[in-house]
Amino acid sequence: MSEAWEKLLPHLREMVDLAGAVKLMSWDQATLMPPNASPARARGMATVESIAHQHLINPEVGDLLQELALDDSLDQDQAASVRILKRDYDRATKVPPELVHELAELSGTAYQAWTEARPQSDFSLLQPHLEKMIRLKKEEADAIGWETERYDALLDEFEPEMTTRDVEAMFTELTEGLRPLLEKIVGVSSPRAEFLSKGYDPASQEAFSHWLVDVLNFDSDSGRLDTSPHPFTITIGAGDVRQTTRSEEKDLMMSIYATIHETGHALYEQGLPTELLDLPVGRAPSLGMHESQSRLWENLVGRSRPFTEFMLPHLKERFSAQLGMVNPDEFYRAANHVEPTLIRVTADEVTYNLHLMLRFELELAMFREELDVADLPNAWDAAMEKHLGIRPDSDANGVLQDMHWSNGIQGYFPTYTLGTIYSAAFFAKAQEQLGNLDDELRDGNTARLLGWLRENIHSKAYRYSAKDLAEQVLGAPVSAKPLLEYLRTKYSQLYDISA
Amino acid sequence: MSEAWEKLLPHLREMVDLAGAVKLMSWDQATLMPPNASPARARGMATVESIAHQHLINPEVGDLLQELALDDSLDQDQAASVRILKRDYDRATKVPPELVHELAELSGTAYQAWTEARPQSDFSLLQPHLEKMIRLKKEEADAIGWETERYDALLDEFEPEMTTRDVEAMFTELTEGLRPLLEKIVGVSSPRAEFLSKGYDPASQEAFSHWLVDVLNFDSDSGRLDTSPHPFTITIGAGDVRQTTRSEEKDLMMSIYATIHETGHALYEQGLPTELLDLPVGRAPSLGMHESQSRLWENLVGRSRPFTEFMLPHLKERFSAQLGMVNPDEFYRAANHVEPTLIRVTADEVTYNLHLMLRFELELAMFREELDVADLPNAWDAAMEKHLGIRPDSDANGVLQDMHWSNGIQGYFPTYTLGTIYSAAFFAKAQEQLGNLDDELRDGNTARLLGWLRENIHSKAYRYSAKDLAEQVLGAPVSAKPLLEYLRTKYSQLYDISA
């Protein structure tokens, strides 16, 4: 075996272990840490993160990566790991330490300003911080380097090898298809089903979620399900994939779909090859690819006619008073109610990607220097009108609703939509290869589908970029067509319209 | 402010943060980690511990400590911190790295051998590992250095500045007082109350424990109570003191007294001065001092006539079927049932310290080279006969019952008894200064007692050694007399004997 690789391995393991420590601290912080522990935890996480960062930018690691880039004795997984780590190393070392520090500090203060600006619906409290953020993120993009345009460098952090131009083309096609569909739905839509907001005991909802993750083959000996205000999935280490859900008494669907969504992420993590877990090649290739799994389970499976039919009697066992009279059709409709609303995180399948399109457009305009931060609130409202046909009643429910921009997370929003695009394409391909899955889903049997995802996606880890992996699976470059096709078919039937 | 101190501070904070990360990993491992995460967690903890160790033995830290030892611009807390860290640094650097490594490895294999030897009750499986352990621990003691005898160097790790000679004198006095008391009790004792082993729903026992820690002023905004097979208390960081308890369906007292015991540790941790938490002076001065708090709450408070009377009606609310007919006298007796048994961890107040005495004697004999490991089982059984008047039915219930020796923890056992000795002395002093506390305890009101402990012990942190702190609080060197006096008075009344 290569001597340089032998020297790199302990570094890789140490990075995995340090990252695992930080992830445990972060999971604990979000789930069950006592409130007064906050300041100490914030400092503790920063300390361990900084030690981990020092490890990554260790010149010894840089030298080994140089050497290994030319080492043709490496096997495929080792070579891929060297490429991936080199990318991380370059991104980490190209940005001057002062800028890294300034950005970390600004993320804290701007996020703090956002937590004050949002409840007061006062964008001016955030504006100066966001102006500085956009300026520093431009500097960061320039330090990292880009070919066609700046935004590429930001997008590349979350969706390696995807370009702004690719995203723009797919998103435009999608949006142009979605808007007419939405208009037709709005023309015939009825109000949200009343039974959804009857009282549902949170503890019983959580018990249902525990049952549900078992049904979906989440391995609870190698993970946990807990609750947190914002559901998430995090892998602490091998054999330790933790997901969370949340429940609201007046919203039955919230916990069900949060759970299925996170289970999609968790099944992906549990399906990554065990023997690669210490290597950079052992992870998912991009956030979009990760989101493809959560969206596939949440929407293509979880909101399907057969799977909603499967869930209903099990829900009735726990909530007979609220759901006793609800039939499978009504339940299916309620799980797929479409209505333009102001808030992204609770948006339905049809409007969700329009929310993302709007954010992507505005982000891009700022980085292309076609939009000033000062004009952002007006631009937001105009874009809401254009894409969703409604205007925010306040900045709190408009431009101030997400924490991403204040937190220095630019280039991230498109990965949500990319994931949704991938999810529909993968599900169509799975049904093409496995045959129609309706009967299995009606029995709550998702084993064959999971097997297909394991074989075609999970087991590949980061051996290919998301784009290349998708092309391999699909036999052609990914496009928005399968998603559009899926939404048109499903919702024209559901709302009895021509699509 | 001293320049060297300014340079030392970031090291201190980093050590605290790394230790906090390890402690969180360890807490999680013991409470709720999924089973398949074990190997990755073990490696992760070893990695972070090793980084923390590298920090401690960093020559830069050594140089700063040298310089600061002569720096008279330091305030008291800084000077004490330098002394304490210098001690840690010396202990860590005096032992050759190869020996550290060998001991770490042996702890793993010997512990593993113990987990196999105990269920089979086969000492021969452990013997060669324990022989090596004693040999290496002797080398370790010699590397650290000692004046009077080797065992001092081991004891000093857990009970700084306490000598074997001091411990021996106190323990001998205690044992000589306890044995006649125990003989008299055994002469008149009746069987354990039947109601103790009626079925008690573990979830209800845990709910009672949550109620109990509140009553005892544990601050749940700055800590948690969970369950684990072996109860423990651990401080993850500022504002984050976590304790655990355990419950057994057939043993009502187990969870009650595990909870009160751990709450004693937890209240101490929550009472350490916040402003010192990053400094070596900010912790408890010794394990014995820590145990003084757990024992004081568990025994002097928790098993007292007034506090058992306070708890009973609250227990009856949850367990009316099992406890409805039990009166306060019966409950008090049941909580203080004395009976020589083979197992230390479930021993009563009177026999507990005899179990420890036996361990201390045998440990000491091995380090004084008066006892070979091969003869340990026989020596154990003989000592049980001598101290407790009973003989083990097997090595599993004899010499193999504790994991300490196999795990490389030598010199630790005496701290349990030292803690008990301190606890009785402190409680007597508290009542001398505060007046009789019975009426308050009968109301479940422990605020004045806690205030006294906060003022006299918790707030002092490690500003003095345990020995010196005890002398300050008591106005005289600590001795076993108050403990003997307390046990004689309490149990002669309880068993209606002359003590």
What is the mean pLDDT of each successive set of 10 residues along chain A, which is 499 residues long?
A: 93 97 96 94 93 93 96 96 96 92 90 94 97 97 96 96 95 95 92 92 97 98 96 97 96 96 98 97 98 98 98 97 96 96 95 97 97 98 96 96 94 97 98 98 98 98 97 97 98 89
- Interface check B220 vs A, CB under 8 A: yes
Cβ contact, residue pair B20, A40, below 8 Å: yes
- State mean pLDDT over B289-317: 98
CB < 8 Å to B33, chain A: 240
Distance from CA of A317 to the nearest CA of B (A): 24
User: How many angstroms separate the CA atoms of B293 and B295, rounded?
Assistant: 5
Query: What per-residue confidence (pLDDT) applies to A189?
Result: 82
CB < 8 Å to B17, chain A: 43-44, 47-48
> In this structure, what token pair is assigned to residue A279?
């290597």
- Interface check A212 vs B, CB under 8 A: no
Sign, CA torsion A116/A122/A124/A127: positive
Neighbours of B218 (CB within 10 A): 22
For residue A231, which of A218, A244, A217, A247 has the smallest C-alpha distance?
A: A244
Task: Choose the closest CB to B224 out of A32, A39, A48.
Answer: A32
User: How many angstroms separate the CA atoms of B62 and B351, rounded?
Assistant: 45
User: How many angstroms separate the CA atoms of B408 and B400, rounded?
Assistant: 14
Cβ contact, residue pair B40, A14, below 8 Å: no
- Beta carbons of B351 and B339 less than 8 angstroms apart: yes
> Own/partner pairs for A75-83, CB < 8 Å, 24+ apart?
A76/A463, A77/A276, A77/A279, A77/A281, A77/A463, A78/A2, A78/A5, A78/A279, A80/A280, A80/A281, A80/A462, A80/A463, A81/A12, A81/A279, A81/A280, A81/A281, A81/A282, A82/A8
Give the full edge-to-edge strand order of the sheet including B233-237: B223-227, B240-245, B233-237
* Average of per-residue pLDDT values in chain B: 96
- Beta carbons of B30 and B244 less than 8 angstroms apart: yes
- Interface check B11 vs A, CB under 8 A: no
Instruction: Return the C-alpha torsion angle B286, B290, B292, B295, nearest 10.
Output: -140
Q: In the structure, what pLDDT confidence band is assigned to residue B464 with cuts at 50, 70 and 90?
A: very high
User: How many angstroms separate the CA atoms of A409 and A111, rounded?
Assistant: 11
Q: Is pLDDT at B381 greater than 90 in this prediction?
A: yes
Cβ contact, residue pair A20, B39, below 8 Å: no
User: How many angstroms separate the CA atoms of A158 and A165, rounded?
Assistant: 16
> In this structure, what token pair is assigned to residue B404?
């300490």
Task: Choose the closest CB to A220 out of B13, B34, B222.
Answer: B34
For residue B220, which of B238, B245, B242, B203 has the smallest C-alpha distance?
A: B242
User: How many angstroms separate the CA atoms of A180 and A498, rounded?
Assistant: 11
0.90 surpassed by pTM: yes
For residue range B200-256, list pLDDT tens digits in order.
999 999 999 999 999 999 999 999 999 999 999 999 999 999 999 999 999 999 999
CB < 8 Å to A221, chain B: 34-36
Q: Is pLDDT at B399 greater than 90 in this prediction?
A: yes
- Bridge partners of B237, per DSSP, are B240
Contacts of B295 (CB under 8 A, 6+ apart): B261, B264, B419, B420, B422, B423
SS3 of residue B387 by DSSP: helix
Strand pairing category for A233-237 and A240-245: antiparallel
Reported ipTM: 0.94
| Burial tier of B54 (Cβ tally within 10 Å: 0-12, 13-18, 19+) | exposed
Please report the DSSP string for A278-316 in residue order.
TSGGGS-S-HHHHHHHHHIIIIIITTSHHHHHHHHHHHH
Query: Residue B3: in which H helix or E strand, if any?
Result: helix B3-31
Cβ contact, residue pair A33, B240, below 8 Å: yes
Task: Let me know how long chain B is.
Answer: 499
Please report the DSSP string for A341-375 in residue order.
-S-STT--HHHHHHHHHHHHHHHHHHHTTSS-GGG
Q: In the structure, what pLDDT confidence band is assigned to residue B108 with cuts at 50, 70 and 90?
A: confident
Q: Is pLDDT at B189 greater than 90 in this prediction?
A: no
CB < 8 Å to B238, chain A: 36-37, 39-40
Cβ contact, residue pair B44, A20, below 8 Å: yes
SS3 of residue B336 by DSSP: coil
User: How many angstroms separate the CA atoms of B296 and B428, rounded?
Assistant: 10
For residue range B407-459, list pLDDT tens digits in order.
999 999 999 999 999 999 999 999 999 999 999 999 999 999 999 999 999 99
- Interface check A33 vs B, CB under 8 A: yes
